[in-house]
Amino acid sequence: MIRLLIASLLLSAPFFVSAQTSELTDVVVTASMLPQQEKETGKNIISIKGASIQNLPISSIDELLKYLPGIETQQRGPAGSQSDVIIRGGTFQQVLVIIDGIRINDPLTGHFNGYIPVHPNDINRIEIIKGAAAAIYGSDAIGGVVNIITNGLQQKNNHTISVGSKWGSYQSRANNIWWGVQKDKWKLSIAAQQNKADGETLRGTTGYFDNAFYSANFNYVFESGWKLHVLHANDSRDFNAQNFYTTFKSDTASEIVKSNWTQLGLSKQFAHKTVKLDVAYKNLSDQFRFSPAGSFNENKTSLFVAQGSVTHALSNNFQLVTGAQWMHKKITSNDRGNHSLSHGGAFFIATHKLPNNLFVNESVRIDWDQSYGWVIIPQINGAWVQGNITTRASIGRGVRDADFTERYNNYNKPLVTSGSIGNPYLETEKSWSYELGLDYRLGSNLKWATTLFYRDQKNLIDWTPTAYPMMPRQQNLVITGNYSLASNISSVQTSGIETDFTYNKAWGEKYEISCNTGLVWLSSTSPDKTPSFYISSHAKFLWNEQVVIRANQLQVALNSVYKIRNTQSASAINATLSDNYFLVNSKISYLTTKRKGTVFIEINNLTNTSYADLLGAIMPSRWICAGFQIKL
């Protein structure tokens, strides 16, 4: 595996050195809720265009994240069944997922954060903000932010239909359709996508999945200059969930998750300010059954978000954003009980351009939470740009309260003989994050970034093995039970170094290459003697890569990931988690004239690696598919 890693980097080297020196590309991002050149933000940001997503051997957006530099995606099942997104060794609840500025993290559990029901044709770009952004986007954005930005009105009127399908191993079939039309003042797109397979044979079940979503995206410009944006999505996932949450031999679980997501935004550009108002509502239904003979755990949650912001362009060198946010979370459950929680906050973000190409971005957030009260969250990012080199630094605080699963899992059942137990007495996580980085850009083609990071966390919430006498609540437990309790880890320190390479180059209309690759080394330590689940399971070394090479009508895409982590084993189900694995997905495409369509072959898990990201949740072996995508 090490030889393959080195060979991949060496093969990339000739492309790196061939770039032509020219002006630096002014890549604009929204890492501070303000359009800024990426080099001015003081953060390490990975960006991928929506138009390039369908070139890759992936079936869902959360699968895409698995191969982006510096992101560890722990998949429980393929094709979007379930994934946990981890950045810089934080837990998946510490990564905030937002669509057009609105969070979609579900209050039930962070396991559902990867359910992103947006068609690639509706995505302008995806920005990955690594490290703390709690003062900007939300108090729990501790590890990073996945920022999905959809397409607005384009430059010209058009009418497009895109249709795709693929079939392959394990009776798999996937279909998608996207229809979009734009006139002078409005734009509407409607999309549907389904991934379905019978799956491999497992212990007493199969690794089946049937995942689908439907979405509509509408934009309109009023005569007054106000812009309206409406996004609605309906998402449904029915999948095998064997050993997703336990390592019991009797586990032959299945799960059905359905959600509806609607958000509405209004914005207007005035002479020296921009006003933006957003509201969003999400409801989710989760039905989990441990075995066919068992009863369902039924959880229903809702999330309401309202926020507004005003951007003040005070001068060419100074911008200010002021805003406020309100959230209400609710759960109705036969397993976790009925609960609700409110959260509000105000935020202030300022960007300064100082002499000698020095950029300083300050943010402060004042939050109130029904659970933990008032808290102040500051952050400061700085960048110094000298020619092709950018030096950057960031310091930020973060705060995260427990979700409904961490507080109340198995809390409302009459009898629980084993499993994960919620803890209503959990304290709030608190952290400080620090980073120092150096970026080098060679012309408009290449960016190399290296970052040192450190996060000091108090009261980190994690699951730890706990004996019955130590359980804070024992009403529905048994003395002989084998339990994991949601607990506060007194102190956890995470440190590491990451280095990313991004390279894009085209030679006329005939040849093109795009490469994103990154390496991460990290370590988490704690004085607590009892090992906790998530801290012990994140990768100690991670390498991700995406490469797309095109020559005339032939295109080859490779996704790969290599990770080193702690070994784990569960004798009851004869399962082990190896200390490393190497995974390659490939896609060979033939592009028709004028690139109106493609026919392709995908080979996922090219090396037929036996692997799992979570102990017992077996991922598929080699998976071969063939299909087409046509744009009319």
pLDDT, residue 530, reads 67
Residue listed under structure tokens 């137990």 = 421
Residue type, 261: W
Q: Give the residue-averaged pLDDT of 436-457.
A: 92
If pLDDT is split at 50, 70 and 90, which confidence band does 429 have? very high
Q: Give the residue-averaged pLDDT of 207-219.
A: 95
pLDDT, residue 61, reads 85
pLDDT, residue 22, reads 30
Distance CA 110, CA 283 (A): 15
pLDDT, residue 1, reads 43
Helix (H, G, I), strand (E, B) or coil at 100: coil
Distance CA 81, CA 104 (A): 17
Residue 427 has pLDDT above 90, yes or no: yes
Mean pLDDT of the chain: 88
Residue 280 has pLDDT above 60, yes or no: yes
Residue 101 has pLDDT above 50, yes or no: yes
Residue 162, CB-side half-sphere exposure with 13 Å CA sphere: 21
pLDDT, residue 142, reads 92
Distance CA 332, CA 325 (A): 24
Bridge-partner residues for 164, per DSSP? 176, 629
Name the residue range of residue 165's domain: 2-631
Element (H, E) at 544: strand 541-551
Q: Give the residue-averaged pLDDT of 356-385.
A: 94
Q: Give the residue-averaged pLDDT of 20-42.
A: 60
Distance CA 601, CA 603 (A): 7
Task: Give this prediction's pTM.
Answer: 0.89
pLDDT, residue 76, reads 87
The gap from C-alpha 547 to its chain's centroid, in whole angstroms, comes to 20
Helix (H, G, I), strand (E, B) or coil at 76: strand
If pLDDT is split at 50, 70 and 90, which confidence band does 154 have? confident
Token couple for 19? 């770039």
pLDDT, residue 531, reads 67
pLDDT, residue 28, reads 57
pLDDT, residue 30, reads 57
Q: Of 69, 90, 74, which Cα lies nearest the Cα of 520?
A: 69
pLDDT, residue 601, reads 96
Residue type, 156: K
Helix, strand, coil share of the chain (percent; to 5) = 10, 60, 30
DSSP state letter for 409: T
Distance CA 161, CA 119 (A): 13
Q: What is the 3-state secondary structure (H, E, C) of 154-176?
A: CCCCEEEEEEEEEEEHHHEEEEE
Give the least confident one: 16-30, 103-117, 220-234, 235-249.
16-30
* Cβ neighbour number for residue 305 with a 10 Å cutoff: 22
If pLDDT is split at 50, 70 and 90, which confidence band does 500 have? very high
CATH number at residue 128: 2.40.170.20
Residue 444 has pLDDT above 80, yes or no: no
pLDDT, residue 18, reads 33
Element (H, E) at 61: helix 61-65
Q: Give the residue-averaged pLDDT of 450-454.
A: 96
Residue 4 has pLDDT above 60, yes or no: no
pLDDT, residue 537, reads 82
If pLDDT is split at 50, 70 and 90, which confidence band does 31 have? low
Q: Give the residue-averaged pLDDT of 206-234.
A: 95
Token couple for 40? 């001015």
Q: Give the residue-averaged pLDDT of 371-379.
A: 95
C-alpha to C-alpha distances, 539 to 40, 340, 503, nearest whole angstrom: 30, 34, 25
Domain count, the chain: 1
Token couple for 580? 């490393």
pLDDT, residue 339, reads 95
Q: Give the residue-averaged pLDDT of 61-79.
A: 88
Token couple for 343? 């959260």
Instruction: Tell me the per-residue pLDDT of 284-303, one tens digit each, with 9 for 90 and over.
Output: 999 999 988 888 889 999 99
Instruction: Tell me the per-residue pLDDT of 553-587, one tens digit each, with 9 for 90 and over.
Output: 999 999 999 999 999 888 889 888 899 999 999 99
